[in-house]
Amino acid sequence: MTREDFSVARKKLAKTQKSLAELLGVSLKAVQSYEQGWRTIPLHVERQIYFLLVNKRKPKQAKRKDCWNQKKCDKKKNCPAWEYQAGHLCWFLNGTQCECTINKGLKDKMKICRECDVLSSLL
């Protein structure tokens, strides 16, 4: 996540820097540093931002499409996204069975998920 993406996300969430810092469990200085580009945004903070954006109430929200349908997955029965009926949160879960992310560490998985239609369709 870039500093620009972080700033846009904060505005979409309608949060001040201080209120977002409290929500993320980080200091105000950390949020300011993320937006200024002085600090890189940790993956756990990036995932929390995406989680908040995806779950923010929106008027007439389109029905969420599950990852196993979008990707025509044949490994869904062994996947935590299927087990917990969280196909829209596959990017958030570790251990998913998508061919593009299986056996990837969190850092590599998030690189792939940032470009995936499942996550981008929710934002």
> How many degrees, rounded to 5, is the angle at CA 109 between CA 70 and CA 96?
55
How far apart are the C-alpha atoms of 22 and 27, rounded to whole Å? 7
Closest CA to 29 of 15, 39, 43: 39
pLDDT digits (tens, 9 = 90+) for 68-77: 888 888 888 8
Backbone angles phi, psi at 18, to 5 degrees: -65, -45
Token pair 């300011």 is found at 32
Q: Looking at residue 39, what is its pLDDT?
A: 95
Ranges for all domains in the chain classified under CATH 1.10.260.40: 3-55
How far apart are the C-alpha atoms of 91 and 101, rounded to whole Å? 9
How far apart are the C-alpha atoms of 12 and 110, rounded to whole Å? 21
pLDDT digits (tens, 9 = 90+) for 47-67: 999 999 887 766 666 677 788
CATH numeric code, 3-55: 1.10.260.40
pLDDT digits (tens, 9 = 90+) for 67-103: 888 888 888 888 888 888 888 888 888 888 888 888 8
How far is the CA of 18 from the CAs of 14, 24, 25, 43, 110, in angstroms? Answer: 12, 10, 10, 20, 26
Q: How many CA atoms lie within 13 A of 110 on its CB side?
A: 15
Q: Looking at residue 60, what is its pLDDT?
A: 63
Token pair 């600090």 is found at 39
